[in-house]
Structure 1
Amino acid sequence: MPTMNALLQIPDSKLAKEATEILRTYATSLIYNHSLRVYLFAAEQGREKKLHFDPELLYISAAFHDLGLVKEFSSADERFEVDGANAARRFLASHGIPEEQVQTAWEAIALHTTPGVTQYMRPEVALLYTGVGLDVLGEGFEGFPTELREEIVAQYPREDFKAGIVQAFFGGFAHKPGTTFGTVKADVCERFIPGYRSPNFCDLIAASLFPDSRSS
């Protein structure tokens, strides 16, 4: 059984340290602490499930997963998840990481807010989703080891996190609310943009330019 100190360690390879420095430089303390909690939660979930995952790749995915909310990484017209995934792709590719690993990190970040899919994908993809789900929504809270959870939160505090993360989400895509269509983040736009309503899928079908023929 790993010691508590071992369970609280983050990868310390040169690549991981560079990812940490990028996160520390551009992210707020709220996003920084959240990202490291996500990694530690996800890594423990992986150990508990006896999954074979790459800790370094999972860590880098966690470090980049919300950087799409930061203006330096935010595009004008992509989902914030895709912006973060693209930033991770550039970072990993610039260090000569094999394409399969790059793609795994991209998928993990791009899908980290998409329910019902990631559990069927590579372990790093599945674990990033569950780590985020635990930290943001409390999914799996009661099943996670209490002492370890408390140590993680003590090391990377949740200072006004519930309100703060919602504001961070909104700040990251307030300029492009249309990119949240079909995702849970549309709820954030509807909450904070007066009069905003996400497009309705049924209305979009009805508005298609294809004419319907009548059945005989």
Structure 2
Amino acid sequence: MSMSIADIKIPDSKLAVEAAELLRDQGDELLWNHSNRVFLFAALKGNLQQVKYDSELLYISSLFHDLGLTPAYRSPDKRFEVDGANAARDFLRSRGVPEESIKLVWDAVALHTSTGIVEYKEAEAALMNFGVGYDVVGKNFDLFSEEIRRQVVEAFPRNQFKQNILHAFLEGFKHKPETTYGTINADVCELLLPGYTRPNFCNHVLHSRWEE
């Protein structure tokens, strides 16, 4: 049975339902609610600005964007964004989705924290990045009315999201903090990981093995 929230229809194709079931199985309530809010805010922006996008691919990208934080999909040595992107690629390939669509989803998931770059990618990637920024840090908060925010949060509650999401992030990469170098995730390690010292790019340059 299809469901609409704030006039946005949640995709209910077989592919979308299977992706949702996978997140339900491997994630938790925090990631489930967050991922669905990301999709809704992303789609709302797309509709508001009359951007053409594929709703099914945007939804699947949103469902997979943090899956790399989960025990089943986190790798020992890759950025969690890449783990999620690889999981999405494997999922879509196993279901015969065209490579062009797979590449689009891979980019959307892998680049979703790469602000300053992802905004210039395809609509699905740019919109999902907006949805992430809106839900996590309230970027462009006044773009939507209080009533729209209420409808989204009523359907997918925040439940102390601001406090809990930082610990969820850390849990996904505390075993590989080196993968956060040069990303916003290093902020999470610096705040919550005991003994962590953020690497400094200038030190890497000045203390490289070059003689001059």
TM-score range normalised by the length of the shorter chain: over 0.9
- In the alignment, what sits opposite 1:92? 92
Task: Give CA-to-partner distance per residue, 1:37-96, whole Å, 9 cap, x none.
Answer: 000010010011111100000000000000000010000000000000000010111111
- In the alignment, what sits opposite 1:147? 147
- In the alignment, what sits opposite 2:21? 21
Percent identity (aligned):
52
Question: Offset of 1:5 from its aligned partner?
Answer: 4.8
In the alignment, the residues of structure 2 paired with residue 193 and residue 57 of structure 1 have an alpha-carbon distance, to the nearest angstrom, of: 34
In the alignment, the residues of structure 1 paired with residue 42 and residue 157 of structure 2 have an alpha-carbon distance, to the nearest angstrom, of: 17
Task: Give CA-to-partner distance per residue, 1:91-132, whole Å, 9 cap, x none.
Answer: 111111111111111111111111111121100010010000
Count of residues in Structure 1 that have an aligned counterpart in Structure 2:
209
In the alignment, the residues of structure 1 paired with residue 5 and residue 36 of structure 2 have an alpha-carbon distance, to the nearest angstrom, of: 15
Alignment of 1:1-216 (within 5 A): 5=5, 7-212=7-212
Amino acid paired to 2:199: P
TM-score by length of 1: 0.94
Give 5+ residue unaligned stretches, structure 2: none
Give 5+ residue unaligned stretches, structure 1: none
In the alignment, the residues of structure 1 paired with residue 164 and residue 6 of structure 2 have an alpha-carbon distance, to the nearest angstrom, of: 29
SS of alignment partner, residue 9 of structure 1: strand
Greater alpha carbon shift after TM alignment, 168-177 vs 90-99: 90-99
In the alignment, the residues of structure 2 paired with residue 5 and residue 83 of structure 1 have an alpha-carbon distance, to the nearest angstrom, of: 29
In the alignment, the residues of structure 2 paired with residue 143 and residue 61 of structure 1 have an alpha-carbon distance, to the nearest angstrom, of: 22
- Preserved contact between residue 6 and residue 148 of structure 2 (Cα < 8 Å): no
TM-score by length of 2: 0.95
Amino acid paired to 1:162: K
Task: Give CA-to-partner distance per residue, 1:7-65, whole Å, 9 cap, x none.
Answer: 24210000000000001111110110000000001001001111110000000000000
